[in-house]
Every structure is written in structure tokens, then in C-alpha cells.
Amino acid sequence: MKMIIGGKFVDKDQKIPVLNPEDDSIIEYVPSASIDDVKKAYEMAEEGAKEMGKLSSYERYKILRDVALYVETHLEEFSRTIALEGIKTINEARKEAARAANTLMYGAEEAKRLQGEILHVDADFRSARRSGFWYREPVGIVLAITPYNDPLNMVAHKLSPAIAAGNAVVLKPTYLTPLSALKLAKAFLEAGLPEKALSVVTGKSGTIGDALVSDPRPRVITFTGGVEAGLEITRKAGLKKLMMELGSSSAVIVDYETDIERAAQLTADGSFYAAGQNCIGVQRVYIHRSIYEKFVPLMVEATKKIKVGPKLSEETTMGPMITKEEADRVERWINEAIEKGGKLLIGGERRGNYIMPTIIENPPSDTHVVTDEIFGPVVCLFSYENLDEAIEKANSSRYGLHAAIFTENLHKAMKAIKGLKFGGVMVNDSTDFRVDYMPFGGYKYSGINREGLRFAIEVMTEIKTVIIS
């Protein structure tokens, strides 16, 4: 499959194999881009940004609408690509493809809502004979860098607001799952997006990463990935606007005033969706001591029902880790937690790139499964005495993306909402909940700024103020 530079399909002699993580078989090859390819993409983007600036709001709306409808009518094709190159089962992939269509349609709608305001500057004693207003203009060029766990919808989350706002985009999908991004980019070009306004550069960050982020031409970098990579980008980006979603250690609090069976089922679902390779997946669960002995068996039973197997099987509910190296890491972390005193309640087994759904009780606070983002099918259970203690423990992480509380007590819910230092707090639901137009992002090391169409557009536009005397 060829990459795209300024709307043109480009091949290279040096290629990168795209592997199916289920068995590491090669399903496709993509070009390994060079620094010269990055420079060419930005040259094209400079011209593309000018062309985008000439499009009306309706024209941008129509492009995004047509791409959304294309994804909707080719849902099974996109779903199969997501499942083959990534870690999701076919049913999980179908949900992602449907969400991507929605994300694109939300962007289409936002393209018609780019507005400003009248400035009543005559309220100042110096400005009696002046009037003013402000409005938004596109920043010009957006660099988008996307991860493997949502290879289509995460790309849609970058392209949709950028194009709705009138920008050109240089997209670098991870080399692990580039095929969904290329298929979506092709749909954009067929929908009439100016060719020079879109490049999809396939390659490894070690080769082209510095050239992409340090180039002065993009005004915005939108990145989803790990903290270490995010910190490197901030060091090398220069004077740019940054949107970053960098990870999580999502915490759930289970109060005794709740439907315990429902809480256990939703918590298990949120722990093992996409084999735990999900930034808002449940990682830490704090259960009130009075219901702990009842809750734990219910969650273990819910976990036993998960069917691990071939991704394209309609019966499978959980797939593999993305690579052998990631499976190795998660296996090490599980073993460390058990060796240091955590109790293995279920799982812990390894079969190739598959890690069986794993629950660990009371792992020590200095183990990786507690201090770091697991990004695998592992969840940790703890008990607590009172709500203040649970909130404090939930907040002890360096991350702050999503948290949740299960309770029927409104006072406790409000106390948790105010006390939890997270970008999103779910009440009576798993942390693994997201509507694609809501403001999405986190506190602390979980990132900078917010995704969600209109919130991303705020970053991907500049405010121009006009004063008339």
C-alpha cells in the first residue's frame, strides 16, 4: 500500500511490514518514509493550506459529510482492516468504524458553526467612536500523530476538526496500524478535499519523528501516545500549539450504596475492552470494605465469560496484545506484582501475543501495575474504609484522564466529582465511556488541551480581532 504526499500516492523501495498481531503474519507493506518525504509533505501542505482557506464552510461540511457516509456504507470493509492490522475483535472493530463515521459527521456539523462575536468596545471610555468583532481562522497546517489502539477513529478525531476548521494536515499514523489511516485518507481525496491539503507519511518515529515535530511549518501538533514520547515532542516542537492525550491509570470507586452486580459487570467490561489497550480502560478499582467480599467474586465471574481467540471470529470478545514486546512487558509487570505480594485471582497466563484477562488483588503501591499505565488486560482491586480515602488513592496516580464512582448517594457522587482530579468523572458507569463530541482529555500527565470536535477546533484555529474606527 502506498503512502500519500500532497494527495499523490507514493511508493518507496524501503518498506515496513504491517503484521497481524494475532500470529505476526505479514498482511501488507507500506513505504518507509525519509526526511525528504517529510519536507515534501510540508511543502505540499503550505500550498494546501492556501487552497483550504478558499473553501466555504459548506464545502468543508460537504467533504466531511461525504467521507462520513462513505465510511458508513463501507463499514464492514473498514472493520475488517481495523481487526486485521490491530488488536480488536471484529465486533469491537465494527463499533470503532461506526464511531469514526459519527466523528466525521460531527466534524461536518461543526464546520458550519465557526462563529465569532461582536465586541462592544465602546464600553471603554476611550472607544466611543469604535466598533469591533472577532472570528476564527485556520492555523494553516496541523501535524497529527496517531496510535495503534484506535487506528481509524483516532485518525478521524484528528482529521475531522482540522479540516472542519480549514487546515491542511500532515498525518503520521503508527507504523503498526497504518492501513486504516490510508483507506480513510483515500476517501477524503475522493470526496474532493484539495489534494495538497493531506499527506499520510508512513514510517518509524526513530527515522522521521524529529523532522516532523521540529519543522516550523505546522502550527499545531495533535498527538496521542505515551508520556515519554509526548515529553520528547514538547522538547523539540518549538513554538507550537499542542494537543496531547498521553495515557491514564483510570480509577473506579465502588460504594456500598449501589447495584453491586451491575457495577461488577461494567467494571469488568471496562477493564478488558480491546484487551485493555485503551487509554480510558479500568486499571484500579477501590471497593468499600463492606461489599468487598461480595463484589470480587462477581467481577471474577464476569471476567471468566470473556472469550479470547481469533479476532475475526464472531464469538471472540478479546484479542491479542499489539506486539510480542508489549506482551512481554505486560507479562513482566504481572509477575512483578505477584512476586511482591499481589494475589492473582484470575488470568496471568500468556499464549503467544495473548495475555489472558487478569485480576490482581492488592498489588504493592510500588509495582508497575499500580504506578504506570498497564495498557493491557490487567486490573487491580483494593478495598477502602471511607470515601475520602478512596478519592485520595485514586488521585495518587501521576495520570488523571478518567475516573468513575458507582453510588446511588447523590452527596457521595458530588463529593467524588469535586474531589477526583481527572478530566472526566463517570457516575454509575465505567471509566471506559466516551461520546466523541465531548471534551476529552486529562489532568497532570494525561495530557494537554481537549479533543472532541469543537474543543479541538478551538486549538486548531486562531482568533482574529477586528476594531473599526
Identity of the amino acid at 157? H
- 433 Cβ contact partners less than 8 Å away, ≥ 6 residues apart: 270, 280, 402, 426
Choose among 333, 206, 224, 332: nearest CA to 278.
224
- 435 Cβ contact partners less than 8 Å away, ≥ 6 residues apart: none
DSSP three-state, residue 87: coil
Catalytic hit among 279, 326, 361, 451: 279
- Per mean pLDDT, which range of 23-37, 110-124, 208-222, 332-346 is the poorest? 110-124
SS3 string, 374-422, reads CCCCEEEEEEECCHHHHHHHHCCCCEECEEEEECCCHHHHHHHHHHCCC
Count of other CB atoms within 10 angstroms of residue 408? 13
pLDDT for the residue numbered 265: 98
Cell of 42: 510540508
Domain ranges for the chain: 3-246+446-468, 250-436
Average pLDDT of span 325-330 = 98
Count of other CB atoms within 10 angstroms of residue 113? 12
Which helix (H) or strand (E) covers residue 344, if one does? strand 343-346
Check if 279 is active-site. Answer: yes
Q: How confident is the model at residue 453 (pLDDT cuts 50, 70, 90)?
A: very high
Tell me the CATH architecture of domain 3-246+446-468: 3-Layer(aba) Sandwich (3.40)
pLDDT in tens, 220-251: 999 999 999 999 999 999 999 999 999 899 99
Check if 380 is active-site. Answer: no
Positive or negative CA dihedral for 445, 447, 449, 453? Answer: negative
Q: Strands, E, within 192-302: which ranges?
A: 198-200, 220-224, 241-245, 250-254, 282-288
pLDDT in tens, 54-76: 999 999 999 999 999 999 999 99
CA 44/CA 193 separation, integer angstroms: 13
250-436 belongs to CATH 3.40.50.880: no
Q: How confident is the model at residue 126 (pLDDT cuts 50, 70, 90)?
A: confident
Catalytic hit among 85, 245, 331, 451: 245
Q: At what angle do helices 35-53 and 205-214 cross, to 10 degrees?
A: 40
